[in-house]
């Protein structure tokens, strides 16, 4: 699972269905089927992470497998060892699957070409974050039913967002229109070239009322995006209480986290019980990662 670009709607829906069937394990602690063999799931996390890393750990444990975590700090990457060499060493220890997050776009794919076990991309630089977009699609499908013909606004630092890129692939494949919204330096017109089903605008207020769902994104300061935004960012692109009143009552609000409260989203908005799907995304994330680990183990065995 390196990206969602070429997955197609049938495969996407089948992963979401599988995750849906695993949801009771996450929500209510229902027992999941005991695996024939306890697999070792390596988690190589070379960028900061709260949700994604814990979510993969919880998912592996819930399936009855053993997560093995290596983070960048304290590893031999600090001594100049390459990503591929690090991954090859973990694979040589007999791991069954390797989940990788790194700042290198294409890093997970590079590793996958060089080691003999299935690789899952948990975020590769600005490129893709497939399991995040799958959990977003799962949340949207649960709230909206079919995504066909729905308009999903993705608002914020699109340029630096792997979450936006993976969502563009997934949501358009499932029939939604993705409306990208952000300040020009963080949303060049070239994004319109993603193809039919993708719209680009720099005017949030102009499209707000057409939304069936709204996904807010963080400004990625670690990718230098802070220099590209003006101090009135919240005024132009924040999901404020005032903007919330202009959304329909059933319009779900998503955010992959971490939130910068008071910048892209106001406190009262993230706390709007009826519309905020932000913690629902996190719960569904575990089920998605369970489905993805299962799938990876099957492909590794095949």
Task: Provide the binding-site residues for ligand NCD, judged by CB under 6 A.
Answer: 51-52, 123, 129, 132, 162-163, 218, 220, 256-257
DSSP state of 276: B
User: Is the alpha carbon torsion for 121, 161, 278, 199 positive or negative?
Assistant: negative
Shortest CB 223 distance to ligand NCD, Å: 10
Give me the count of residues in the chain: 302
Nearer to ligand NCD, 48 or 76 (CB): 48
How many C-beta atoms surround the C-beta of residue 139 within 10 A? 24
Q: Is the Cβ of residue 88 or residue 105 nearer to ligand NCD in the bound state?
A: 105
Query: Nearer Cβ to ligand NCD, position 39 or 269?
Result: 269
* Spatial CA neighbour of 252 closest among 133, 146, 137, 140: 140
Whose Cβ is closer to ligand NCD: residue 15's or residue 254's?
254
Contacts of 191-195 with C-beta under 8 Å, sequence gap 24+, read: 191/158, 194/168
* Residue 55 vs 177, nearer CB to ligand NCD: 55
**Smallest gap, in angstroms, from Cβ of residue 53 to ligand NCD?**
9
Cβ at position 257, least distance to ligand NCD in Å:
5
Could you tell me the smallest distance in angstroms from the CB atom of residue 92 to ligand NCD?
28
Residue 217 CB, shortest distance to ligand NCD, in Å, is 6
The helix (H) or strand (E) run that includes residue 122 is: strand 119-124
First to last CA, the chain: 15
Decide if 136 contacts 254 (C-beta within 8 A). Answer: yes
Question: Looking at beta carbons only, is 39 or 131 nearer to ligand NCD?
Answer: 131
Q: Do you find a cis peptide bond into 33, omega within 30 degrees of 0?
A: no
**102 or 132: CB nearest ligand NCD:** 132
Q: How far is the CB of 165 from ligand NCD (least distance, A)?
A: 10
DSSP 9-55: HHHHHHHHHHHHHHHHHHHH-PPPPPPSS--EEEEEE-S--SHHHHH
CA 161 – CA 218 distance, rounded (Å): 9
From the CB of 74, what's the least distance to ligand NCD, in Å? 20
């Amino acid at each position: 699972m390196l990206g969602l670009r070429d997955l197609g709607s049938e495969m996407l829906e089948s992963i979401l269905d599988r995750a849906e069937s695993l949801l009771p394990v996450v929500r209510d602690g229902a027992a999941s089927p005991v695996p024939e063999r306890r697999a070792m799931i390596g988690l190589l996390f070379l960028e900061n992470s709260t949700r994604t890393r814990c979510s993969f750990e919880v998912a592996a444990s819930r399936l009855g497998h053993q997560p093995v975590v290596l983070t960048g700090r304290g590893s031999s990457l600090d001594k100049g060892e390459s990503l591929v060499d690090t991954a090859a060493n973990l694979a040589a220890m007999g791991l069954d699957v390797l989940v990788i997050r790194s700042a290198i776009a294409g890093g997970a794919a590079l590793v996958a070409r060089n080691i003999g076990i299935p690789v899952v991309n948990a975020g590769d630089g600005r490129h893709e974050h497939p399991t995040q977009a799958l959990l977003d699609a799962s949340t949207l499908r649960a709230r909206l039913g079919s995504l066909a013909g729905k308009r999903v606004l993705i608002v914020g630092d699109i340029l630096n967002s792997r979450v936006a890129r993976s969502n563009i692939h997934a949501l358009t494949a499932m029939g939604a229109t993705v409306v990208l919204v952000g300040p020009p330096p963080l949303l060049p017109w070239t994004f319109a070239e993603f193809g039919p089903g993708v719209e680009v605008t720099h005017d949030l207020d102009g499209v707000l009322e057409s939304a069936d769902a709204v996904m807010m994104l963080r400004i990625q300061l670690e990718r230098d995006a802070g220099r590209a935004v003006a101090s009135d960012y919240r005024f132009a692109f924040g999901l404020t209480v005032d903007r919330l009143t202009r959304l329909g009552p059933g319009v779900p609000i998503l955010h992959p986290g971490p939130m910068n409260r008071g910048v892209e989203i106001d406190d009262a908005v993230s706390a709007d019980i009826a519309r905020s799907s932000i913690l629902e995304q996190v719960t569904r994330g575990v089920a998605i990662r369970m489905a993805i680990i299962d799938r990876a183990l099957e492909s590794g065995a095949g």
